[in-house]
Amino acid sequence: MPLKRHGPPSKRPDRDKTKPTTKTLPGLPPRKPKIIGLFGLSGTGTSFLLEELREEMKEDGFAFNDGNEALTAICPGGLMAYNALGAVKRARYRDVTITALENECVRKDVIGVVVRYLAFWNEDSECFSVAPVADLKAHTHILYLELPFAHFPQYWGDIHEGEEADATFKHWDCWQKSEICYLRRFCRKKDITFTVLTPHLGTVPKVSSLLRDFRVLTDWDNRRYAEEQLIQIMGTPRAKSVETVLLFDADGTLSPQDSEYLLWCRVPCPSMPLGLLYTPSKETLCQLSSTYKDYLQMVLLHEEVFDEKAFAAACEDIAGDIRLYPDMLALLRRAVETPHTLPIILTGGPRLVWENVLKRVGMFETVNVIGGGRHEDLAIMTPEVKGWLVTVLQEKCYADVWAFGSGQVDAIMLMKADQAVFIIDSETWLTQNISPAWKDSLRRTCPQLHEVILSTNGPLALQYKPQDMRLLGKKLVAKIFARRLRISYVSLDKPSEIIMSFEPEGSPTYPLWKSTHREIGSFLAARYLKEIITNQKVRSNGDFLFSTNISILAATPCNMPMAFGIQSEFVGSQLLPPDTLKEPGKHSRRILMTTRVLFLVKSVIIDETFLMDLMEKHSMLIESLMRVVIVAGVIYSPVLTKTKLARLVGQKSNISFVTLHFADDLDYPNDAPVLDCG
């Protein structure tokens, strides 16, 4: 008697009914339609499950089909006549059915779900294949409905009794295990995701949730979900003043342990997924060639083996076994306490493990984790996604990025970051005789790479307080937490009107305005500029800096009073006319050739226009100078915070700012002369 699945269908709200738009470029073949195969032994409930899913998800954009029914409909004489045909004719009918399903999925923009059987068998233990390799390759995902035959004699003793029933269950159990092993290995070779619907995962709500998520479990959507999480983090009040983001890989970087490997070490051997060739770990995904589907398959293995409660309990236990490097723990705490830095953890392993680790060290509320572990997490941290998030931070958030990694999966992130730190465990360093080729390649392509050897229990790590971070080194730590812009200012208060205004010559208040701006220039020169020049007195090659090597340039004619005030403090310095950067004359060119320090004067800076134009048109001049100091009476602080300008200027180590007021709130006149002559 064929077995029938029991259990009423239950409704579950769809978390995400948004369908990603697919853009097909002209001349390119359309994307392969998604076809999900629902496999299982014949007569064990796959058709019944299909009917329940059809009822549960009838309006969710899926096309449900039974492979045998489709063959029966198109083959004269039905399934019995089909089985009597030769191999060539059977293949022809199979091609027609699978092509019809693919066309339907493309035409209706739906996902196909079809019941299939790997093989039929009879009471004499004879079987024949009904799903050849060519048919299996048409699927993008395969689900296998597993029934726990090993426990059936115990629970169904009152229905099936005797040695014959026990032998039948054992036979079914062996047959099912053989099919699972074959399909898992086949799908791995053919880049098809495979999941066994174990009893906790084989319920209608669970399967329908998984099917709905298959709509958005794609490489493109994965990157979108990860980016959305990052943008949400960067939109928090904590990130408002952030200049530098510290991106940390988790396993091997914050600690020497591999959380994925520790997770599977807690699975008893009889419960390990059938057909696996190795114990899952981060090392199995260490190749740059690993695709999004490889990472998704790891997540689906979590679903297959663990239900929600078991997974949460395992992650909590593993967190207790994770030992953070003392230096990395201190670095995280320092990054949280420093207003202009923001730490974010990107993990390709179970996100829940690292959230529990952060709870144990008291940083769960202040350090964000982006990663996966369950299919509903949606964001899976692949090497490409890590690199993409670096680009998002640089181009959309205008942040400088420090990346911390320890393996080949972090190579893209390390190469794209502004600065990269490669973490090596002391035990690995001592036992590794030859550096892998990918490490040598990383060193060549990543000139900003810093290599650091860390230890969790070595003598050197135990000889000092963790907050000292001696293994990281004082110079590296100072560089990580340095402000990207060098801004010297006197006040954060709202500036007075006389500093923000412009008075034309001949105005009754012009003499007062002129003397005020001149005194501001003189004051800033005495207070800050002389100290800057003192620090640059001798060049690295031993060539001395003289007064004639200092030039002062007013951005516009109305900035001349402030420029004269600066010149009064530097006897022998050169004063350049305001049109020097536009059309330099012979005299100006001669002065620029000997200039090593340039004071660029602009009394009010309230937007990016002037400085961005300077960076774009005169980058070669800026690069050739020892020091460029932009002097202003007022700088509107948002201009130099989270902007493209701030990121560009921050990459120039020879540029600094000196201002009287570095103001967040400005009340300035709206008339054009202020903006033009600023």
- Taking only the tens place, the pLDDT of each residue in 13-66 is 444 444 444 444 444 445 678 889 999 887 778 888 998 998 888 777 888 888
| Check whether domain 219-480 has CATH 3.40.50.1000, yes or no | yes
d(CA 346, CA 344) in angstroms, rounded, equals: 7
DSSP string, 288-334: TT--HHHHHHHHHHHHHH--HHHHHHHHHHHHHH----HHHHHHHHH
- The pLDDT of residue 316 is 95
Strand ranges for 351-432 from DSSP E: 368-372, 400-405, 419-425
Mean pLDDT, the chain, whole residue set: 82
pLDDT of residue 343: 97
CB-count exposure of residue 51 (10 Å: 0-12, 13-18, 19+): middle
Q: Tell me: the pLDDT tens digits for 370-387?
A: 998 998 888 999 999 999
> Residue 555 gets which letter from DSSP?
S
What is the CB neighbour count within 10 angstroms for residue 94?
22
H helices, E strands: number in the chain: 29, 20
Calculate the CA 374 to chain-centre distance.
Answer: 17
pLDDT at residue 668 tops 80 = no
Q: Shortest CA distance to 90 belongs to which of 122, 119, 132, 137?
A: 132
Higher pLDDT, 131 or 576: 576
The radius of gyration of the chain from alpha carbons, rounded to an integer in Å, stands at: 34
More confident residue, 75 or 40: 40
Q: Which of 433, 500, 426, 537 is nearest to 661 (CA)?
A: 500
Model pLDDT, residue 22: 45
- pLDDT tens for 205-255 read 999 999 999 988 889 999 999 999 999 999 999 998 899 999 999 999 999
Rounded to 5, what percent of the chain is helix, strand, coil? 45, 15, 35
CB atoms near residue 395 (< 10 Å): 11
Q: Fill in the amino acid letter for 162.
A: G
Query: 289-325, pLDDT tens digit by residue?
Result: 578 888 999 999 999 999 999 999 999 999 999 999 9
Pick among 3.20.20.150, 3.40.50.2020, 3.40.640.10, 3.40.462.10: CATH of 486-677: 3.40.50.2020
At 652 the pLDDT is: 87
Domain residue ranges of the chain, discontinuous segments joined by +: 35-216, 219-480, 486-677
Pairing of β 419-425 and β 400-405: parallel
Pairing state between β 486-491 and 655-663: parallel
> What is the mean predicted confidence (pLDDT) over 412-432?
84
- CATH 3.60.9.10 for the 35-216 domain, yes or no: no
Q: Give the pLDDT confidence score for residue 73 in this predicted structure.
A: 78
pTM for the model: 0.83
pLDDT band of 342, cuts 50, 70, 90: very high
What average pLDDT does the segment 134-154 reach? 77
Give the side-chain half-sphere CA count within 13 A for 534. 7
Cα separation values, 246 from 67, 282, 332, 448, Å: 52, 22, 9, 15
- How far lies 650's CA from each of 246, 539, 656, in Å? 16, 22, 9
Give buried/exposed letters for 564-587 (b at 16+ CB in 10 A, else e).
bbbbebbeebbbbbbebbeebeee
- The closest of 219, 245, 218 to 231, measured between CA atoms, is 245
Close Cβ partners of 127 (under 8 Å, ≥ 6 residues apart): 119, 120, 121
- As a whole number of angstroms, the distance between CA 251 and CA 405 comes to 9
219-480 and 486-677 agree in CATH topology: yes
Question: If you ran DSSP here, which 8-state letter would residue 568 be given?
Answer: T
Report the alpha-carbon distance of residue 18 to residue 228 in Å, rounded.
Answer: 15
pLDDT at 406 over 70: yes
Residue 589 has pLDDT above 50, yes or no: yes
Mean pLDDT of 97-105: 82
Cα distances from 380 to residues 301, 388, 554, 649, in angstroms, run 14, 13, 52, 34
**Confidence at 543, pLDDT banded by 50, 70, 90:** low
Coil/strand/helix, residue 626: coil
Q: How far apart are CA 352 and CA 369, in angstroms?
A: 9
Would you state the structure tokens that stand for residue 11, as one six-digit string?
């409704």
Task: Say what percent of the chain tops pLDDT 90.
Answer: 38
* pLDDT at 20 (0 to 100): 45
pLDDT value at residue 162 = 56
Distance, C-alpha 176 to centroid of its chain: 39
The pLDDT of 497-507, averaged and rounded, is 83
Amino acid present at 611: L
Tell me, what's the pLDDT at 274?
87
| Least confident segment among 231-235, 430-434, 549-553, 609-613 | 430-434
Looking at per-residue confidence, does 11 or 530 come out higher?
A: 530
DSSP class of residue 544 equals: B
Of 172-176, 365-369, 666-670, the least confident: 666-670
Determine which helix (DSSP H) or strand (DSSP E) holds 485, and give its type and residue range: none
**C-beta of residue 346 within 8 angstroms of C-beta of residue 407:** no
Whole-number percent of the chain with pLDDT over 70: 83
